[in-house]
Structure formats: C-alpha cells, structure tokens
Amino acid sequence: MAPALCAICKVSRALIIRPKNHQKLCKACFIAVFEAEIHHTITSTSLFSPGDRIAIGASGGKDSTVLASVLKTLNERYNYGLDLVLLSIDEGIKGYRDDSLETVKRNAVQYDMPLKIVGYAELYGWTMDQVVETIGKKGNCTYCGVFRRQALDRGAKMLGIKHVVTGHNADDVAETILMNLLRGDLPRLARSTSIVTGDETSEVRRSKPLKYAYEKEIVLYAHHKKLDYFSTECIYSPEAFRGSARSLIKNLERVRPSAILDVVRSGEDMARLVPEEVTGVSHCKSQKTSLSSADGEDQGAGGCGTNGRNSGGEMAEMEKKLQQDEEAAGREIDISALSNNANGQRHDRIETKPEPRKAAKKDVGRKLVRQTLGTCRRCGYMSSQEICKACMLLEGLNKNRPNMQIEVDGEEESSSLRKGMGEMALAAG
Amino acid sequence: MASETIPITVEFTGGLEMLFADQRKHSLSVPAKDERGQAVTVGWLVHYLCVEVMKDPRKEMFVLDGHVRPGILVLINDADWELEGEASYALQARDNILFVSTLHGG
C-alpha cells in the first residue's frame, strides 16, 4: 500500500499512529507533539517553579529514561529553570538492579545530570537479597515496595530536594484507577488520579509528568530518539501477579486505544465527586493536587505489587468517610449513595459503621488532626501512622521473622517496575 | 515449489530478546512463499518465529490466542505495523521487522 503521509507536516512518511486519536505522524512531528503535550501537562498544572530542584526517580527503564530525556529537553527549550538530578534506588538484588544501575550511570553522562544512588543496605541494613534469604520469595515485594517508597523520600532529603518526579504513565494510572474501582476504594481511586501528591508544606512532593502519556508512545519515543534504556524483570517476581489488571488494560487498548485515557479521565471525574475530606484532594484551588499519603500507596511508586494496607489505616479512612457522609448531607451531589455503594463492597466496613460515626461526631477536630501527615516516631520520616511501615517491617526482619501483619494479598498496584512481572508470572505458569 | 528465499532482519527489544536467546538482531532467510504458495506475511513470520526460532518454552509471552501479545509493538521498517496492514503485510527482501515489548519493567 502507498505509504501514508504525516498528518501534520504532510511531507514525510507517517511512522506512528497515535493511540489516543489515530493520528498518523512522521518521526519528527511525533517527537515534537509528544514533547509539546508533556510541556502542556507541566504548565497547565503549574507543576514546577523556576529554581526548583527536581529529583527524577530513575530505574534505567523506559519510563524514567524518557522522563529524564524529555525533562532535560523541555527545561532547556522553555527555560523552566529547573535543577534536575537523577535519583536511583539500589535494592540490592544481584543480577537485576546492578545491571540497570549501569544504564542509569550512562544516562547521567548522556543527560549531564548528577546521579545519587541510595541503597537499601545503607538505609535499612538489609539488601533485598538478604531479605529474601531470610523470609523467602513469598511476600518479598511488600518489603521492597515499602522500602522503596521511603527510600525515594530519604534520597531526596539527602539531596535537599523537595520534589520527586516518577515515570508513571497513562497505562499505570489507568491500571491503578481500575484496581481501586474493583476494590471499591473511592478515596484511593480519587487520590491516585492526582498528578501531584503533597503540597508546599510537604517535605517531599511526588508527581508524574507522564500521567497522560501512553506507554506505547513512551516506548516509541525511546525507540525513535534511540534512548539508552534497560528492560528486565526482577528475579524475585512472584507468582502473585497472575491475571494482572495490566493485561486488562492492554486488552482494552487493543480493542479501543483511546480506552486508556478515557479511564484516566473517568477516574478524574470520579475523583471530583469524592469529597475532599475523604481524599485530601482540594477541589477549590485545583483538583490536581492531593495531600500526600506518606505510604505512597496511591501512586504505587515503584512498589512491586505491594498492597500493605492495614486495619489501622482502613479504620482511619472509614472514620473520614463517615464524617464526610454527614458533612455531605447538604451538598448538591448525592454523596451518600456513593458512599453506601463503596461500603457495600466490604462487609467489615458495614459492621464497624455505628461506632466510628459516634466517635467522629464527638470529636471532629481530633479526627481531622489524626489524618494529618506526621512522622514516624522511630525513623522520623513521613508516615501517616505512629510507626511507619518500613520500621515495622524492619523490626520483624531484625527479629529474624517476617511481620505477618503486612501481607501480600494478591492484589497489586500500578508500578512501572512491577508491570512486566505479571506477564512473566503468567508465562511461567 | 521453488525454494526461493528472501533475506530479512528481525529484531527483539524491550525485554523480548530474552525469549530469543538474548539475541537482539536475527538475520533470517525465509521462504518467499508459504506452503500454499502465497507470499509470506508478517503474520506468517510470527508463527515461523515461534516454531523455528524461539527456543524458550514461554510462547505465550510472545503470542497469545494466535496474535502478537497485546503490549508488544511491531514496527515494519520503523513504521507501526498498523500503518502497513498489520499481520497481512507481505514481507519484502531486506525488510526490518522489530518487535518491542512495552510490558517489561526497569
């Protein structure tokens, strides 16, 4: 067939067909459009301010490599005035992370950015190899995910940086939205749609500038720009990721490519219906900013399938939800129906309903304070609980027994590091 | 049937190379016609790769339900295969067929 011409320049041969709108583009126009859209995401959400120091969470994989490349390009092209630094986490997995860290080291040279590597060994006294030696492969992703989320914050603090960007893409966000929808977890669904978690008062904010970028286009951008990235699978990837939401997303995309962004938009619309008391997302100033969840669960920031929600957090959330039930009574939106549906998904929540309602009525102020982000009493890093999850897990490890309170339960979260594992696990079976 | 062959290059990246003996680039000589005398297509090639080239038993990492697994991009001479008729594209001498996985992590 005759080669199609680029829909923009009408001169060059089209090489790319865009999933979001079927537009056929040549290589040069695709690269220009891809960069322009990330620029638009950044400027329309006022993501950065001149002089900001930004740590790019870099794994050496396609997403973070593209993020680093695009941010460097845009920073120079549009004079963002950003000071960009690569921040990598060394989980201490021989034959996996040591290889991909070599890629990050090359990226640091290619993009002329400083590179900081923080290791689990120095932060926690345990490498993942040692953790697995102690607890076995089952459940090790919980440890890795909890440790990594905190490690990114701690790495940023070591650098004196207050903003970490991660390579989460539209596919990741859509996957998280679907998963939270399937769990009936509207608060987390709402938070996961935010482009930023944390605000000026947070120690470390997190954001995902590639939130609207298709994974397909990220890979094609990396290909056509000949970026140096590393693809691998964690050697400890467990079987727990069978039938991942990832496969669902990819199948949806095959039937109707716009489905991915449609899920993201739907998630954002649903988030707008969830009161801010529940999500911490302020609708007034911008529905795109949400208060940080110190555990980072909303973002699944690089955590390999961790779903370490515990009963304490659920109770707190429950209280918040019940409180908003009352406060929402006078609102225009029929929130109570929404909440009831959400609660209906979980029988335990229905059981506990009467008690927290009373508590919330009695002492509204205290309950609100309890929701405020605090610091871990033990390590001093951000935590919504008295003792952060990392410290709880470490305590178990140091006693040479795994902490059974936080268990992998087969549910997954979105993560660019983890996404391939589902596929691997599927195949292995 | 004449055993006419055409030279093509097949590449695997984005993690797929590990299914093909960790070898990214494969220079192949494939029959010009299939068993029914039809010009060989990319769809034919995918089956051929599975049967003749891939030693790894995890076929479903590459092909699922008879199709290239969702999440694997196929580029024909650097163009998205959707622009070239997908599996029905007839292979030409010196074509470069690239399979890129988007499914693997960093």
CB atoms within 10 A of CB A226: 6
CATH number assigned to the domain comprising residue A99: 3.40.50.620
Let me know whether A201 and A172 are in one domain: yes
CB atoms within 10 A of CB A51: 9
Which of the residue ranges A49-53, A340-344, A419-423 has the most confident prediction, judged by mean pLDDT? A49-53
As a whole number of Å, the CA-based R_g of chain B is: 13
Let me know whether A210 and A346 are in one domain: no
Let me know whether A73 and A179 are in one domain: yes
Domain containing A69 equals 34-307+393-428
Q: Would you place residue A236 in the very low, low, confident or very high pLDDT band (cuts 50, 70, 90)?
A: confident
Summarize the confidence of residues A190-196 as an average pLDDT.
90
- Angle, helix A259-273 to helix A170-183, in steps of 10 degrees: 50
DSSP string, A169-198: -HHHHHHHHHHHHHHT-HHHHHHHT-SEES
CA-to-CA dists, residue A202 to A43, A112, A160, A260, B64, angstroms: 21, 28, 13, 30, 45
Q: Which of B70, B84, B105 sits opposite A233 (nearest CB)?
A: B105
Q: Would you place residue A11 in the very low, low, confident or very high pLDDT band (cuts 50, 70, 90)?
A: very high
E strand map for B14-95: 25-31, 63-64, 67-68, 72-76, 79-80
User: Which is it for strands B67-68 and A53-57: parallel, antiparallel or unpaired?
Assistant: unpaired
Residue A184 CA to residue A187 CA, distance in Å, equals: 9
Q: Would you place residue B106 in the very low, low, confident or very high pLDDT band (cuts 50, 70, 90)?
A: low
pLDDT at B83 over 70: yes
CA angle A264, A318, A327 (to 5 degrees): 85
Tokens (6 digits) for B72 = 């694997």
Summarize the confidence of residues A152-165 as an average pLDDT.
94
Residue A324 pLDDT: 55
Residue A399 domain-assigned (yes or no) = yes
The answer to whether residues A24 and A8 touch, using CB atoms and an 8 Å cutoff, is no
Residue A15 CA to residue A7 CA, distance in Å, equals: 11
Residue A8 domain-assigned (yes or no) = no
Residues of chain A above pLDDT 70, percent: 68
Which of the residue ranges A52-61, A124-133, A200-209, A352-361 has the most confident prediction, judged by mean pLDDT? A52-61
Please report the sign of the dihedral spanned by the C-alpha atoms of residue A146, residue A147, residue A149, residue A150: positive
Let me know whether A346 and A397 are in one domain: no
Residues in chain A closer than 8 A to B14 (CB atoms): 62, 219, 231
Residues in chain B closer than 8 A to A427 (CB atoms): 58, 60-61
3-class DSSP assignment, residue A49:
coil
pLDDT at A95 over 90: no
Tokens (6 digits) for A300 = 């699944």
Q: Would you place residue A315 in the very low, low, confident or very high pLDDT band (cuts 50, 70, 90)?
A: very low
Residue A425 pLDDT: 40
3-class DSSP assignment, residue B26:
strand
Let me know whether A339 and A407 are in one domain: no
Side chain identity, residue B102: T
Q: Between A183 and A223, where is the model more confident?
A: A223
Lowest-pLDDT choice from A61-75, A101-115, A244-258: A244-258
Residues in chain A closer than 8 A to B73 (CB atoms): 216, 219-220
Lowest-pLDDT choice from A94-108, A228-242, A358-372, A390-404: A358-372
Residues of chain B above pLDDT 70, percent: 96
Summarize the confidence of residues A26-42 as an average pLDDT.
98
Best mutation target among B81, B92, B101, B103 (most A Cβ atoms within 10 Å) is B103
Mean pLDDT of chain B: 91
Let me know whether A366 and A414 are in one domain: no
Q: Would you place residue B53 in the very low, low, confident or very high pLDDT band (cuts 50, 70, 90)?
A: very high
Residue A283 pLDDT: 52
Tokens (6 digits) for B3 = 């055993």
Nearest to A93 by CA among A230, A233, A297: A233
Residue A143 domain-assigned (yes or no) = yes
Let me know whether A290 and A359 are in one domain: no
Residue A231 pLDDT: 86
Residue A282 pLDDT: 57
Tokens (6 digits) for B89 = 């594209």
Q: Quote the minimal CA–CA distance from A429 to chain B in Å.
A: 9
Residues in chain A closer than 8 A to B56 (CB atoms): none
Summarize the confidence of residues B61-81 as an average pLDDT.
92
pLDDT at A407 over 80: no
Let me know whether A197 and A314 are in one domain: no
Residue A232 pLDDT: 78
Let me know whether A262 and A246 are in one domain: yes
Residue A334 domain-assigned (yes or no) = yes
ipTM field:
0.94
Residue A353 pLDDT: 38
Domains in chain B, ordered, with CATH? 5-101 (3.10.20.30)
Q: Would you place residue B43 in the very low, low, confident or very high pLDDT band (cuts 50, 70, 90)?
A: very high
Q: Which residue of A has its CA nearest to B68?
A: A254
Residue A112 pLDDT: 97
Residue A228 domain-assigned (yes or no) = yes
DSSP string, A72-141: HHHHHHTT---EEEEEEEE---TTTHHHHHHHHHHHHHHTT--EEEEEHHHHHS--HHHHHHHH-STTHH
Q: Which of B70, B100, B103 sits opposite A223 (nearest CB)?
A: B100
Q: Would you place residue A203 in the very low, low, confident or very high pLDDT band (cuts 50, 70, 90)?
A: confident
A46: left (phi over 0), alpha (psi -120 to 50) or beta: left
Residue B102 CA to residue A140 CA, distance in Å, equals: 24
Tokens (6 digits) for A411 = 């549910």
Residue B103 pLDDT: 83
Backbone angles phi, psi at A263, to 5 degrees: -65, -40
Residue A421 CA to residue A406 CA, distance in Å, equals: 21
Let me know whether A159 and A298 are in one domain: yes
The 10 Å CB-count burial string (b at 16+, else e) for A120-135 is beebbebbbbebbebb
Which of the residue ranges A162-171, A286-295, A306-315 has the most confident prediction, judged by mean pLDDT? A162-171
Q: Quote the minimal CA–CA distance from A117 to chain B in Å.
A: 15
pLDDT at A305 over 80: no
Q: Which residue of B has its CA nearest to A88?
A: B106
Let me know whether A397 and A280 are in one domain: yes
The answer to whether residues A415 and A305 touch, using CB atoms and an 8 Å cutoff, is yes
Residue A378 domain-assigned (yes or no) = no
Lowest-pLDDT choice from A15-24, A80-89, A272-281: A272-281
pLDDT tens profile A35-87:
999 999 999 999 999 999 999 999 999 999 999 999 999 999 999 999 999 99
CA-to-CA dists, residue A338 to A274, A333, B55, angstroms: 8, 9, 52
Let me know whether A328 and A271 are in one domain: no
Nearest to A182 by CA among A414, A392, A385: A414
Structural domain total, chain A: 2
3-class DSSP assignment, residue A429:
coil
Mean pLDDT of chain A: 76
Q: Between B67 and A347, where is the model more confident?
A: B67
Q: Would you place residue A239 in the very low, low, confident or very high pLDDT band (cuts 50, 70, 90)?
A: very low
Summarize the confidence of residues A312-320 as an average pLDDT.
44
For chain B, the residues whose C-beta falls within 8 A of a C-beta of chain A are 13-15, 58, 60-61, 69-71, 73, 75, 78-80, 82-85, 98, 100-106
